[in-house]
Structures are given as structure tokens and as C-alpha cells.
Structure 1
Amino acid sequence: MTVIGLDLGTSGLKGVLVGEDQAVLAEASAPLSVSRPHEGWSEQNPSDWLAAAESVMDQLAKHGLSEVRGIGLSGQMHGATLLDAADEVLRPCILWNDTRAHAEAAALDADPRFRRITGNIVFPGFTAPKLAWVAAHEPATFAKVGRVLLPKDYLRLWLTGEHVAEMSDAAGTSWLDTGARDWSDDLLAATGLTRAHMPRLVEGSEVSGTLRPALAVRWGLPEGVVIAGGGGDNAASGVGAGVVEAGEAFVSLGTSGVLFAAAEGYAPAPETAVHTFCHALPNAWHQMGVILAATDALNWYARLVGADAAALTAELGAPTAPGRTLFLPYLGGERTPLNDASIRGAFLGLEHETNRAAGTRAVLDGVAFALRDCRDALAATGTRIDRLIALGGGSRSETWLATIATALGVPVDVPAAGDFGAAFGAARLALMAATGAGPEIATPPPIARRIAPITDLTAAYDDAHARYRAAARAIGSLS
């Protein structure tokens, strides 16, 4: 028996074929691009997701899919995919890092019901304020909305013909009663919607539907392949990395940056700007701090100086004491702990001696300091992090991981060869749906090495972080 995990990311769609023993047998990917037609906007065409999924499945089919029994889905969160009554897409999907709805988010957040019921601030990138923006700025489109789906759940519609979401992704919409794990009729009504506009809800490890026969024939899958509920990208990564019990945590260096900790139970603290969401497993929750630009910031700098991002980090040795140059990675606003859609990034303390390598170090330090802010916000809720598992493309940089370990004062564990992120987590959820297995199969990956904080640099990083915080306050006042 085998299963497939599909992860719909911002920059690409990835698929993995996984055996019953959880060994990865094959993987495939297809790129995606983002459209930014106006400042603060970020969109994708859902048809591009389907084309990417077809490409990935075509690639995996070369390895033989006759033993597949389940498919799990993971994906970028918060995206507003608007369909009419015939399931036709009404406009490009408004993505998670789109900040156009900042005024609508502030208005919804001022209604005390939203924080009380969802356990979270209404961030501009969440789904509900995007619908409020569409209602205000594209009323003809809003009037035609028959269903609102999250990105991965549009893939599910294509795969199964079913309108279904799961708890971890739904928790990022600002419409979910996160403690009760159900849609809130009051919050939907506050944005001019009803439960009829929403997909039905399942847990991430439950069966959400079965693969359409025509697609099964196309790729050589058997009849009755189940599609698991799946998870939002971070919750699925938590399942993939075995971060499912309280006290376990990971740091993800992807387009965005995430500090993710499994929680003891549902204990929201929205005033900290920490996200408190349902996990992708039943009766489980998690907390996370989110920064909007991690590898996105490094890739931006690489384009600026005309170099490859991997080459830039390879030029550096072990972390050194931060220099005078500071970098604030707020290229498109920030979530935790600032909740500021208008703040923008900056280089400060530039001097004659500042060269390309110094700029690279400042970028790595700046992202690490933003993650330290997330750690402090999580600590304010009572969440303690003793160690981190490193995930995401940026984790290939030993220098960056050592920088994060030193800035946060927490050792970082590097998994052995293999990808234990969202696609793998989605495959594990498929295995649960297909076999009835539970969280016990979501074990941590084998660890290749542990990167400890460089204690000789602790004081220097503490001082630099204090300057970083002062700079963030100053820049915020100018936004």
C-alpha cells in the first residue's frame, strides 16, 4: 500500500509518494508564480494550481500508483478562492500575504466577538477581511459568491467534487469557533455570509471524499482512493515533523517564517498576536508566531545584489557578533508580534565598510530577530520551547540555523536527509485516513545533528536584538 501527499505552496506544488512504512518512494514538483498587480496585493489563478497538480501527478504516475489507497492535502492558508453557484472561479485568489484588506481587518477586529470566538486577532491576511474587501470594492463579484474555499480545498473539489475543509486551515479564516471546531454563524453573518457559503468540516485525518473515477483512470490509481482532510501547511508540517504533543516545536524557514509549538489544549491569547489554531489531528491545537518574510527576504536581497541566495549564505562562515548594519524584514508588513500591514522593511546602520557579506549577515540576523520576537510572544502565553526541529528550504543553511539558535538561545535539531515538511505530513494524514491509524504514526524524524547556541555570542545578540526592537518601533512610527 502507498499514499500520496500534495502540498500547494506559494511558489510551487510538491507531491510525495510514500510507502506504508513511511519511506518516501518518489517526489515531484511544479512551479507557481504570484501576481502583484497593485502595492500590497498578492494573487494566483486557481487554474494554475490545477495545472501544477496535473504535472505533479503525471510525474508521480511514472513510478506506478496502482497501490495508492489515500491522498492527503496540504496548502498555503488564508487564501480567498471565490466560486459561483456552478463552482466557476469568480476572480484570482487573494493570497495569505495580501494586505489590501487591512482596514476591513481592523474593523472586524474591533468587534469583540471575533477575538472571543476565534481566539485570534483578525489579521489582514486572513480570509474574512478579504471577503469584506470584495464586498466593498467588487460588489458585483461578491453578489455572485456561492462558495468560499481555501486553496488546497479547491484542489480537493477538483479531485473529489466535494466542498470540504478541515479544522487547521479553517481556523485561519476568522470564521471558525476554534474551541468548538465549527463555523460561527455570528461571524459569518458579520461579513454578509452564511454557513451555506462554507464547505463542510472534517478533521485532518478523516476521509473527506474519494478520488473521481476519471482521474483514477488517468493516473492508474485503483477505485475508491480516499482523500484525507489534510491540513494547513504549518499544521501538516507539524504532523510531518512529529510535532503533535505539547512541548514539541519547529522553526520553518520558507517564504514566510514560522515558530510552531504543539499546545496542551485550547488556550488562546490574541493580544500577543500569536496564532492559536486547531491542529490537523482531532482534539488538538497549536500555537505559532508567523513572520511574513523569511527566505522571501533573502531572495529579495539576492535579486538586489544580483547573486544566488544559496551562494550568498555559502560565502559566510559561522555566525559572528552582529555588526552595526541592521535589517528589518518587513517587506510586506508583519504579523507576530506587530500586526502591522503598513510597516515596511529597512536597512539601518549602513557605513563605508558595509559590503555584500555584511548585508547577507544582516538579513539572516534580521529574520532571526523577527523569530525571536515570535518566541517572546509565545512565552507570554506560557509556551516554553526547549528545542526546535528545522524545516523549510532556508534550513539548508547551517549558518542561518546557527544564527537562529544563538539569537533564540534554543538548540536547533537538523533532521536526517529527507523532507519532513507539509507534503510528508499530508501523506501521513492520508495514511491515517486510509488505515484508521492515529497520531502514534506521526513520530519525529531521525536527527542528523544538533546546532547549539554559540554562548560566546549571546550577549552580542541580546544587544543587537535590543537595537532591532528600537529600530522596529522607529520605523513603525514612520509607516
Structure 2
Amino acid sequence: MSLYAGLDVGTQSVKLVAYDPETRQVVATTGHALELAAGDDGSREQRAEWWIDAIRACFAALDPGVRARIKAIGVSGQQHGFVPLDRAGNVLAPAKLWCDTSTAAECDLIMDAVGGAGRSIEIAGNPILVGYTASKLPWTREHRSQVYAQLATILLPHDYVNFWLTGERWMEHGDASGTGWLDVRERRWSDRMIAATDTGRDLRDCLPPLVEADAMFPIAPAIADELGLPRQVQVSAGGGDNMMAAIGTGNVSPGVLSMSLGTSGTLFAYADRAMVDAEGRWAAFCDSTGGWLPLICTMNCTVATEAVGKLCDFSTKEGDALLAGTRPGAGGLLMLPFLNGERTPNLPNGRGSLFGMTASNLTPANLYRAAMEGAVYSLKNGYDAFVDAGMRFEAIRLTGGGSHSAVWRQMVADAFGLPVDVPEQAEGAAFGAALQALWASQRAGDRGADLPALAAAHVRLDPRLSTRPNAEATAAYAAQYQRFLSHLDAIRPLYAG
């Protein structure tokens, strides 16, 4: 009767699911909202104690009987965040997040030190893109010199939560590949990229050891008591939110394409080898199962739709009803929704743009649809790179907040010309973290425990939410997508610096 808990420390909230593998049911789900500190310079930060307070609240909301049955915990966390610790394990400053674009100049400085973006890809598999952890280190050295002077350990958000739970410091390869310091082909730290980030000290001393995806650590007794958990609870390696969402959507073998529609939008697939692109058109990440995870990330997904809802004074929960009278193409209204800068396409200094406005089409409904379509077109732009590289997919598995919307599901199916399926467990990252904890527990007793088989048994699709493309709508989106690409080419020079 053991339960496995999955924690997802996101940008907007912390979510917790408790999963019973015997009945194959999530027996409890809780969540707690998070604040976000935003600056005009592109900075996006959160305090690590906000995550911990939210985790405490999530466990407190569980029935004591549920907490007593938990055997293991897996932690999913927003990628790329920079959590600096001193030698005593104290957090030295707010965590700069994945969506922080204030360090764009530092990305170029690091890559220039090794000979440019192309050389960075040759060395470690990825360029240093805006938001990646590596760029936050020289920024901290320049703008928070006292923090830099006391820096002893660099952790990512999910690593910090693991550290709080266990007292141990580690990273696993999936989340580590989003730092910019991991050689993703060899699955080890890249001495050259680390040295290029800081010539004044050896940052390897600040990086925790890398562990395998099935590693487990005991929870600290004091934390178990505080959370009302058994002291025998184990904590699995965990991983980045996209890596955990891959597990939670069953994307642990070739041929599956997952899409997550949340604050950001991501598109990712499993690979059994490092999928490095010489042009850096996608992130060549490792995953959290021992494989690799080529990934497309856009920084503006529900960010854009929520901004429109706020502007027009309606809740995004009303979005589907609002769009009932609109059609693909938003009446000619086209949005490039780069409100936070953008990673795909790579425009860290980019800003949102609205084109094709007329007296008749500038309505709240069309504006909302244009924001949704713009986010989908950004992902389609990345998907085209996958297809150019020879990857082929028969369907999309949709997760994240957007998967709850019938309009999002239909729009994705139509714009990509592919069927869309939705797993029963909509919280893909939290559910994936629970499944990773289950797998690691099984591996502790049986080294042959197979993750693809486990995912096939536990990740079930909801046939009521499956969506198929409409040929007429697909044609309309294809025409609007070409407009998106032409306008994208037109604005690139405006934000190239």
C-alpha cells in the first residue's frame, strides 16, 4: 500500500501528487502558488525559502494517513535556476530563474572565450543560451560581488529542494545539461566551458557530484518529522521539469513527441544518443533516465495569454468560451509573443509585436487567439528543425496547463497536422517525478527494473481528450504560420543586439 510522491517546483506554483502504483491512481493532489520578482532589466527571481514554504504547505494539506504511506519522493524543478550556497549551506541570494534575460551579455562573453557559439556546441553540445545557469555566474560576480566571494556550492532549484530534504548535494545529468557546463555527449562536466565561465577560480569546486538517474538518498530525520513522513522515506535523483514531464508522458523511448504548455512552452523527444545540432536549433539535453532529450523551449506561452487576459479584464479560465466565435488566423491579427525575450527563436532581447490590426479585427477574442497562435507558431518553428534533422512523429502528447483547454488541444493538432493525445495525469512533471521515485525504488531491489515497461503500465491516455487535426484549419494555420516566419525575419535586426 506504499505511495510515491512527486513534487514539481515550478515558476508559478509548487504541486504535489501522491501516487498509488497498485491501484494506478493519484490519491491526492495539492498545490501552492509562488511569487515572482520581476525587474525591467529582464531579471526574474524567486527566493528559495518560498519553495520550501510551499512544499511545507503542500504536505500539510495531505491527510496524515496519506503521508504515513509515502515510501519515496521524486522532485521535479524548473530548469536553469541559479541557487548560490555558502559553505554552511545557507542561500546567499535570490535564485535567478530560467526566464531571467538580464544575463544575455554574459552568454556571449562565455562563448566568445571558447571561440563562439559554434565552438561551444563542438565542445559541450550546446551554445550558452539566455537563461542557462552558466551566464548567471559572471553576472553574480559583477553585480553581487559579496555573494560571489562567499559562493561554495552551485545548485539548481530541484537540487536545492533535494538538499533541504536530505542534507546531501548532488546533480543528475538531465538537469545538469541545462547549466551549459555539461558535456552532453560524454555526460560529464566540461572543463573548457567551466573555465570559460570564470578564469579567476575553479568552479568545479562549486559543482556537486553527478549521480545516475536511479540514485536514491534517505530523507533527513528532522525533515521527515516536520513533514509528517516516515523516517524511512527515500528521495530519488529527480530532475528538471521537462525531464520529469518526459517520464510523466511516457516519453522514455524513441518516437514519442511531448509538448508542455505552461508558463513556457516546450517540445521534446527521447533519444538513445546525444542529439547535437551544429546550428544549435534545439537544446541537446540529457534526460533523467540515462538517455537524451532534444528539446525546444519558448519562454512565452501562457505568459502571453495571461497578459492579454489581464489587459482585457477577463480570466484565462474563460478563454475557451471567448474564442468560440473566432477562427484560425485570428481575423488576420498576428502576435509575436516575445514578452519575456525569447529562446526559440533565439531573441533574448526581443519584445512582443502585434501585426495586421484593423478596426474590425482588434477584439479581445482575436487578441487572445493571436497570443495562443503565436506561442504555437514559436513551437512549430522549433518542430521544423526536428523534422529537418530526420525525426519523425505520429502524434503529440500534451501536458501542462494548456492541455486542459479544448481550444489549445485543437489548435496544436491543427497547426502541427498531428493527432494530440493527453495523458490522464495532467500534472506531467509531478507525476513523472513520482514514477521516477517508483522506478528507483524498484531498481534498488532489481537492477533489471525497466523504465519503459513501467511507463507503459502507468502512463495512460485519456481518450476523451484526444484530438485529431481538421484539414481546413490546418491549411489556415499554415498560411498564418508563413506570415509569422516572414514577420520574424523582419524584426530580427531590431533585437539582434
| 1:471 correspondence with 2:487 | yes
Letter in structure 2 aligned against 1:445: R
Q: Residue 142 of structure 1: SS of its match in structure 2?
A: helix
1:129-182 deviation per Cα after TM superposition (whole angstroms, max 9, x unaligned): 110111233233212110000011111111100111111100000111112212
Unaligned segments of structure 2, at least 5 residues:
444-448
Range 376-385 or range 238-247, more displaced: 376-385
Letter in structure 1 aligned against 2:19: V
Mapped partners of 1:213, 1:314: distance in 2: 49
1:222-257 deviation per Cα after TM superposition (whole angstroms, max 9, x unaligned): 233211001110110010110111111111110000
Range 258-267 or range 385-394, more displaced: 258-267
Range 186-195 or range 44-53, more displaced: 186-195
Counterpart of 1:438 in structure 2 is 450
Q: How many residues align?
A: 475
Letter in structure 1 aligned against 2:487: A
Counterpart of 2:475 in structure 1 is 459
Q: Structure 2 matches for 1:63-462, cutoff 5 A?
A: 63-110=65-112, 111-112=114-115, 113-192=119-198, 193-207=202-216, 209-282=217-290, 284-317=291-324, 320-322=327-329, 323-336=331-344, 338-353=345-360, 354-416=362-424, 418-436=425-443, 437-439=449-451, 440-443=453-456, 444-448=459-463, 449-462=465-478
Letter in structure 1 aligned against 2:254: A
Quickly say closer, same or farther: Cα 1:319–1:438, change in 2 above 3 A. farther
Range 103-112 or range 347-356, more displaced: 103-112
1:281-326 deviation per Cα after TM superposition (whole angstroms, max 9, x unaligned): 02x1111111101111100110111110121222223872412110
Quickly say closer, same or farther: Cα 1:381–1:62, change in 2 above 3 A. same
Q: State the shift of 1:200 in Å.
A: 1.4
Quickly say closer, same or farther: Cα 1:11–1:102, change in 2 above 3 A. same
- Does the CA contact (< 8 Å) of 2:263 and 2:301 recur in 1? yes
Quickly say closer, same or farther: Cα 1:396–1:122, change in 2 above 3 A. same
Letter in structure 2 aligned against 1:455: A
Q: Which runs of 4 or more aligned residues in structure 1 lie more than 4 Å from their structure 2 counterparts after TM superposition?
A: none
1:10-62 deviation per Cα after TM superposition (whole angstroms, max 9, x unaligned): 01101111113342111111110100133211000011111111111112253
| 1:25 correspondence with 2:61 | no
Mapped partners of 1:36, 1:226: distance in 2: 35
Give TM-score scaled by structure 2 length.
Answer: 0.92
Letter in structure 1 aligned against 2:215: E
Q: Residue 106 of structure 1: SS of its match in structure 2?
A: helix
Range 74-83 or range 112-121, more displaced: 112-121
- Does the CA contact (< 8 Å) of 1:211 and 1:225 recur in 2? yes
Letter in structure 1 aligned against 2:313: G
Q: Residue 451 of structure 1: SS of its match in structure 2?
A: coil
Mapped partners of 2:97, 2:65: distance in 1: 33
Letter in structure 2 aligned against 1:438: D
- Does the CA contact (< 8 Å) of 1:165 and 1:201 recur in 2? yes
Q: Residue 415 of structure 1: SS of its match in structure 2?
A: coil
Counterpart of 1:16 in structure 2 is 17
Mapped partners of 1:33, 1:454: distance in 2: 39
Letter in structure 1 aligned against 2:466: R
CA RMSD of aligned residues (A): 1.6
Q: State the shift of 1:332 in Å.
A: 1.2
Mapped partners of 1:313, 1:476: distance in 2: 32
Give TM-score scaled by structure 1 length.
Answer: 0.95
Identity of aligned residues (%): 36
Letter in structure 1 aligned against 2:105: A
Q: State the shift of 1:462 in Å.
A: 1.6
Quickly say closer, same or farther: Cα 1:402–1:380, change in 2 above 3 A. same
